[in-house]
């Protein structure tokens, strides 16, 4: 199907701006043969089809014909300008880009191609590129970022551990063989274990960039066996080895760049229509990182002769199975899983309960 813009008058009136001064002059445009003829102040300017580009109309504002010498023809007769542009395209001398601008089929195909490549870029390109960038950055930068993150954490979320010196030393002694094994396997990643108290975080453990591993007092108290803490430690070290902290920073920056590139407006990055897809993409990336850390932990536990069930046991206590009353809110539960930064806990537990 071809779109045709009928012209009630083959001549379109408007104002001509030469691109050198702000003043405009009355002008009249028409298509003669394969050229645009523009009558301005008693003289005729001629432009071939590849020297004319139809501007994009915004709302009910005037439309424009952009000319090769930097000049512009502005007119409120939008259908008239579209008709002139289409007549030039039909002359056969238009460039492929100009034909693209007025071809509905090519426009739709281009839109589909942009959407497909954008989706592929967000789903596959951003994680791959962020991984390459994160592993190319020096470990010293990551360590500095981790130290700053730990300072910020201590300023706003955590307090010094309430565990006795004796209990802290017991845990450190129990973890020492596993830390040594990991350090020997990955000498470029120094590991340091920290204990913190936090009512807000509860029973938790997490890895900061640069090998800082933080266990809350509640997490230590939740464990019924040192091997359970070793299983959690292995999971957090998986984050360090795969440089997930740094990758998160890089991915967030790349996502903002992609969204701004697609919208053409940096202020739109905070808009919900742009921010929501970015948020959902980030959640998906983080779930992938948690699975990657679980893979590392599972392999390490088997290598060290620790039953993977240890990880399943402490995870079950950390996130108990839902009761029948809680299962009634199935829709809310599915939404929570969709918006979670972690894979569903039952799936994670089942992985560590499955025999070799």
Residue 133 and residue 90 share a domain:
no
Residue 186 and residue 142 share a domain:
yes
Residue 303 and residue 210 share a domain:
yes
Tell me the three state secondary structure of residue 308: coil
Interval 185-208 mean pLDDT: 90
- Does any domain span residue 200? yes
- Does any domain span residue 123? no
CATH number at residue 22: 2.30.29.30
Q: pTM above 0.75? A: no
Q: What per-residue confidence (pLDDT) applies to 335?
A: 36
Interval 73-89 mean pLDDT: 82
Structure tokens at 318: 């950390």
* For residue 274, pLDDT beyond 50: no
Residue 45 and residue 144 share a domain:
no
For 13-52, the pLDDT digits (tens) are 888 888 788 788 888 998 888 888 989 888 898 888 888 8
Residue 189 and residue 52 share a domain:
no
Confidence of residue 220 (pLDDT cuts 50, 70, 90): very high
Residue 236 and residue 144 share a domain:
yes
For 283-319, the pLDDT digits (tens) are 556 778 888 999 999 999 999 999 999 999 999 998 7
Q: What per-residue confidence (pLDDT) applies to 11?
A: 84
> Tokens 């921010």 label which residue?
275
Q: Which of these three, 45, 79, 95, is where a domain ends?
A: 95
- Does any domain span residue 347? yes
- Does any domain span residue 3? no
Interval 3-17 mean pLDDT: 66
Residue 178 and residue 75 share a domain:
no
More confident residue, 345 or 233: 233
Residue 236 and residue 343 share a domain:
yes
Measured distance between the N- and C-terminal CA atoms of the chain, rounded to whole angstroms: 61
Interval 71-82 mean pLDDT: 84
Q: Which of 98-102, 116-120, 271-275 has the lowest mean pLDDT?
A: 271-275
More confident residue, 10 or 279: 10
Of 72, 318, 305, 286, the C-alpha closest to 215 is: 318
Q: Which of these three, 95, 116, 140, is where a domain ends?
A: 95
Nearest-angstrom CA–CA distance, 48 and 204: 69
Domain span at residue 177 reads 129-353
Tell me the three state secondary structure of residue 205: strand
SS (H, E, C) 3-54: CCCCCCCCCEEEEEECCCCCCCEEEEEEEECCEEEEEECCEEEEEEHHHEEE
> Tokens 């088997």 label which residue?
302
- Does any domain span residue 143? yes
Q: How many domains does the chain have?
A: 2
Q: Which of these three, 95, 118, 142, is where a domain ends?
A: 95
* For residue 93, pLDDT beyond 60: no
- Does any domain span residue 263? yes
Nearest-angstrom CA–CA distance, 152 and 146: 10
Cβ contacts of residue 48 below 8 Å, gap of 6+?
Answer: 34, 35, 36, 93
Nearest-angstrom CA–CA distance, 300 and 296: 6
Tell me the three state secondary structure of residue 329: coil
Residue 89 and residue 46 share a domain:
yes
- Does any domain span residue 113? no
Nearest-angstrom CA–CA distance, 248 and 288: 11
What percent of the chain is predicted at pLDDT more than 70?
A: 76
Residue 36 and residue 184 share a domain:
no
Residue 59 and residue 202 share a domain:
no
User: Checking DSSP bridges between strand 205-208 and strand 212-216, what pairing results, if any?
Assistant: antiparallel
- Does any domain span residue 214? yes
Residue 198 and residue 67 share a domain:
no
Number of helices (H), then strands (E), in the chain: 14, 11
Cβ contacts of residue 241 below 8 Å, gap of 6+?
Answer: 182, 186, 189, 296
Interval 149-164 mean pLDDT: 90
């Amino acid at each position: 199907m071809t779109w045709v813009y009928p012209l009630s008058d083959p001549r379109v009136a408007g104002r001509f701006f030469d691109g050198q001064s702000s003043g405009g002059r009355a002008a009249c445009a028409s298509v003669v043969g394969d050229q645009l003829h523009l009558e301005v102040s008693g003289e005729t300017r001629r432009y071939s089809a590849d020297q004319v580009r139809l501007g994009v109309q915004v709302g009910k504002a005037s439309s424009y014909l952009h000319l090769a010498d930097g000049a512009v023809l502005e007119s409120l007769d939008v259908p008239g300008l579209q008709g002139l542009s289409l007549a030039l395209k039909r002359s056969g001398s238009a460039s492929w880009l100009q034909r693209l601008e007025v071809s509905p089929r090519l426009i739709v195909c281009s839109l589909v191609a942009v959407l497909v490549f954008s989706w592929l870029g967000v789903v596959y390109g951003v994680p791959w590129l962020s991984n390459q960038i994160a592993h190319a950055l020096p470990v010293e930068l990551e360590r500095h970022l981790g130290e700053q993150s730990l300072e910020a954490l201590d300023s706003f979320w955590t307090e010094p551990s309430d565990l006795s010196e004796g209990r802290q030393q017991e845990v450190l002694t129990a973890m020492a063989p596993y830390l040594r094994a990991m350090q020997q396997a990955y000498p470029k990643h120094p590991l340091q274990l920290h204990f913190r108290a936090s009512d807000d975080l509860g029973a938790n453990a997490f890895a900061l960039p640069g090998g800082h591993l933080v266990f809350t007092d509640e997490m230590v108290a939740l464990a019924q066996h040192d091997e359970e803490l070793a299983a959690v430690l292995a999971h957090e070290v998986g984050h360090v080895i795969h440089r997930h902290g740094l990758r998160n920073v890089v991915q967030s920056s790349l996502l903002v760049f992609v969204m701004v590139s697609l919208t053409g407006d940096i202020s739109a990055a905070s808009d919900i229509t742009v921010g929501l897809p970015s948020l959902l993409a980030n959640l998906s990336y983080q779930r992938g990182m948690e699975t990657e850390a679980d893979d590392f932990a599972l392999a390490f536990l088997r290598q060290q002769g620790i039953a993977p069930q240890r990880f399943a046991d402490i995870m079950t206590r950390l996130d108990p199975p839902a009761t029948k009353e809680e299962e009634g809110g199935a829709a809310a539960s599915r939404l929570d899983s969709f918006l979670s930064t972690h894979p569903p806990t039952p799936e994670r537990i089942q992985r560590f309960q499955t025999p070799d």
